[in-house]
Structure 1
Amino acid sequence: MAEGEAKVISTDPLHENEAVWTKLVKKTYIDPKGVTRTWESAERTTRPKGSDIDGVGIVAILEKETGPEIVLQKQYRPPLDKIVIELPAGLIDEGETAEQAAIRELKEETGYVGKVIEMSPVMFNDPGFCNTNLRMVHVSVDMSLPENQDLKPELEENEFIEVFLVKLDALWEECIKLEAEGYAIDARIANLAEGIEIAKRFKL
């Protein structure tokens, strides 16, 4: 089945003994007025011991004579039953640093070999629903290097990823165009694009 043909064929409750990656929990807490309340949320079960994050997102910028371009991906995501426009990303392995995970995941998913430039604070994706978190790792990709000429991604059997490039200064317009074409836009890309537009508007 080609990536564009992927689709959800059924949705059923997930029993706790079947869950591999996540679990649902009920939190009991006291609010600022002293009232006891409960909250339903999800938690990842895969965070390595000693790590403060589940994974990394990768802002990979290609240095080109025509201007910087960002590496994006198209990947089908069953929770949305849509192809999602995403940044390269992945879970951190046991004993790995965020920087190491970013370089590894970028190479595996896109074939590009990059150099870490900087890293964000710990970011929480949807704190009202789950405890999943990550660090955004900014990576520079030198297109003059031989290893970035003949790209060889190392995708897993269940990964179907299409890599493409977008000019960094046109990211906002590209997000709008892709949404109109039926793609879902990952919040991390949308936030980055919005930040670029705000910087332009206020000449930051």
Structure 2
Amino acid sequence: MSKFEEKTIKTKEIFNGKIIKVSVDDVRLPNGETSIRELVKHQGAVAVIAVTEDKRFIMVEQYRKPLEKALVEVPAGKLEPNEAPEVTAIRELEEETGFTTEHLEYVTSFYTTPGFCDELIYLYYTDKLIPLTEEKALDEDEFLECQSYTMAELDDLIKRERIHDLKTMYAVQYLKLRGFD
């Protein structure tokens, strides 16, 4: 046992939904005391940094109910059970942007909010976009608009908090590290 590990004594499932599971765990702390942890389990997600031939960046705008506002984000979506992240990345790219690719480069993965949630997002990059000949259907409860932006426009969207989520902020920083300006 590591010096920071918390040993689960008891787990109580609170909610088991389509996207998340919520539980409350009683834990034994490293000092022997006990505490309670509220946990959100998530199956994981992918995000795709998609760059056009003319060095524009494909983003989608959609309403985020927890925030009560629309955000501009990189194309992304949740993993299906037993689905490889690369497969999810291609599916989401096609559904949300009307493009596909035969060249997908793994960038990294990261936990979004490890203080209470185990959601892991896999981030991919492509600059080899191929327009689809036939539009793919979005999920029945998904409404979004796809647009392309310059880096200056992305910077402005960040300043105005239209881009205001971790995965997209990370993606923009990654593009800058790759030399896009």
Same fold per TM (> 0.5)? yes
Distance 1:75 1:110 in 2: 13
What is the 5 A alignment of 1:93-108? Answer: 93-108=80-95
Identity percentage of aligned residues:
26
Letter in 2 for 1:58: V
| Counterpart-to-counterpart distance in 2, 1:31 and 1:69 | 49
Aligned partner of 2:112 among 111, 114, 125? 125
Which of 132, 155, 158 is matched with 2:138 structurally?
Answer: 155
| Greater fraction of residues in helix | 1
Write 1 or 2 for the structure with the bigger share of strand: 2
Aligned to 2:26: 28
Write the mapping of 1:120-199 to structure 2, written as runs, cut at 5 A: 120-142=107-129, 145=130, 148=131, 152-168=135-151, 170-177=153-160, 179=161, 183=162, 185-194=164-173
CA contact (8 A) 2:49 2:171 kept: no
Note the C-alpha offset of 1:34: 4.1
For residues 135-177 of structure 1, give each alpha carbon's deviation from its aligned partner in whole angstroms, at most 9, with x where no partner exists. 10112234xx5xx276724212211111111113652233214
Structure 2 vs 1, CA of residues 83 and 152 (structure 1 numbering), >3 Å: closer, same or farther?
same
Alpha-carbon distance in 2 for matches of 1:197, 1:140? 15
Q: Is the 8 A contact 1:73 1:161 kept in 2?
A: yes
**Equivalent-residue separation in structure 2 for 1:136 and 1:158 (angstroms):** 24
Q: CA deviation at 1:87?
A: 1.0
> In 2, are the aligned partners of 1:89 and 1:105 still within 8 Å (CA)?
yes
- Gaps in structure 2 of 5+ consecutive residues: 1-13
Match of 1:75 among 34, 58, 62: 62
Q: 1:195 to 1:58 in 2, by over 3 A?
A: closer
1:62 to 22, 33, 52: 52
Q: How far apart in 2 are the matches of 1:154 and 1:199?
A: 32
Q: In structure 2, do the counterparts of structure 1 residues 172 and 30 end up closer, same or farther at CA, with 3 Å as the change threshold?
A: farther
Unpaired segments ≥5 residues, structure 1? 1-14, 48-53
Q: Compute the displacement of 1:84 (Å).
A: 1.5
- Report the number of matched residues: 166
Give me the TM-score of the superposition, normalised by structure 2.
0.76
> Given residue 67 of structure 2, which amino acid in structure 1 is its aligned partner?
L
Q: Give the TM-score, by structure 1 length.
A: 0.69
- Secondary structure class of the residue paired with 1:104: helix
Aligned partner of residue 63 in structure 1, secondary structure: coil
| Mapped partners of 2:87, 2:35: distance in 1 | 40
Partner of 2:40: 42
**Range with greater deviation from structure 2 (102-111 or 112-121):** 112-121
Q: CA RMSD in A?
A: 2.7
1:198 shift after superposition: 7.2
